[in-house]
Amino acid sequence: DTAVSQTPKYLVTQMGNDKSIKCEQNLGHDTMYWYKQDSKKFLKIMFSYNNKELIINETVPNRFSPKSPDKAHLNLHINSLELGDSAVYFCASSPAIGTRPGYTFGSGTRLTVV
Amino acid sequence: GDSVTQMEGPVTLSEEAFLTINCTYTATGYPSLFWYVQYPGEGLQLLLKATKADDKGSNKGFEATYRKETTSFHLEKGSVQVSDSAVYFCALVPIGGGADGLTFGKGTHLIIQP
């Protein structure tokens, strides 16, 4: 049973399109995240959701919007895709605030915008 | 803000060599510290962690000790194998953890030659 699962694993799309990446966790964690890994492997947090409330938004363009229908899911919607959006996107989850920190990552979605 | 600095790569070693990957951090208080590993084409896996000063994290022959006085968390392994070739990320989460997410270093690409 995969703890944090993302779909799709690969996504190739044209500039200007709108796409979504899905993420689900079965760990019972309270907080979920989206990270972006650029071509130089640098990882940066994009969003954090705790109990369906957005609590971090790290100057990400508003073309990116996280959607969390419930505690176990955090989807990433991207509108009007640009070449610079090409990257690997990782979903992650962690347990409740104040507990010992532990983060579990999905296997990533490689997005290529052409 | 918080930051993590890792030695630049790639680091190339022969099999059975001793490995050290340096990591220093800047953070308020006492963050929790992590090493993650990313094998080619895969997601991030937690390698080890330490949550307070002088703690030693260890896993799969790798070790790192939380040094508050030098704000460091260097990764070591006594005898590396070809299968250890990967990108290694040092990361921290602020005290209190949880929803703040991980702050990553830029990653160190390790290449082990037979």
Q: Which residues of B touch A44 (CB under 8 A)?
A: 104
Whether pLDDT at B49 is above 70: yes
How does the average pLDDT of chain B come out, rounded?
92
- Do A70 and A52 form a contact (C-beta atoms < 8 A)? yes
B62 Cβ neighbours under 8 A, 6+ residues apart: B35, B47, B48, B75, B76, B77
Residue A101: predicted pLDDT:
65
Q: What is the pLDDT of residue A1?
A: 66
Q: How confident is the model at residue B113 (pLDDT cuts 50, 70, 90)?
A: very high
Instruction: Classify strands A4-7 and B44-50 as parallel, antiparallel or unpaired.
Output: unpaired
Better-scored residue on pLDDT, A96 or B113: B113
Please give the residue that has the higher pLDDT: either B91 or B100: B91
A98 touches chain B (CB under 8 A): yes
| A59 touches B: beta carbon within 8 Å | no
CA dist B5 and B74 (Å) reads 11
Joined together, the tokens standing for residue A113 give: 């915008």
In chain A, whose CA is at the least distance from the CA of B95? Answer: A98
Stretches where chain A sits below pLDDT 50 are: none
The confidence score (pLDDT) of residue B30 equals: 86
A to B CB pairs, distance under 8 Å: 78
Residues of A in contact with B103 (CB under 8 A): 45
Q: Please tell me the least confidently modeled range out of A9-13, A57-61, B64-68, B105-109.
A: A57-61
Q: How confident is the model at residue B79 (pLDDT cuts 50, 70, 90)?
A: very high
Q: What is the DSSP letter of A84?
A: G
* CB nearest to A42's CB, from B34, B49, B106: B106
- The CA distance from B26 to the nearest CA of chain A, in Å, is 16
CB contact under 8 A, B38 and A33: no
pLDDT at residue number A63 = 95
Residue written as token pair 């000790």: B65
B22-46: per-residue pLDDT in tens? Answer: 999 999 888 999 999 999 888 899 9
Q: Say which residue, B34 or B98, is predicted with more confidence.
A: B34
Percent residues over pLDDT 70 in chain B = 96
Q: What pLDDT, on the 0 to 100 scale, is given for residue A51? A: 74
Strands A109-113 and A10-13: parallel
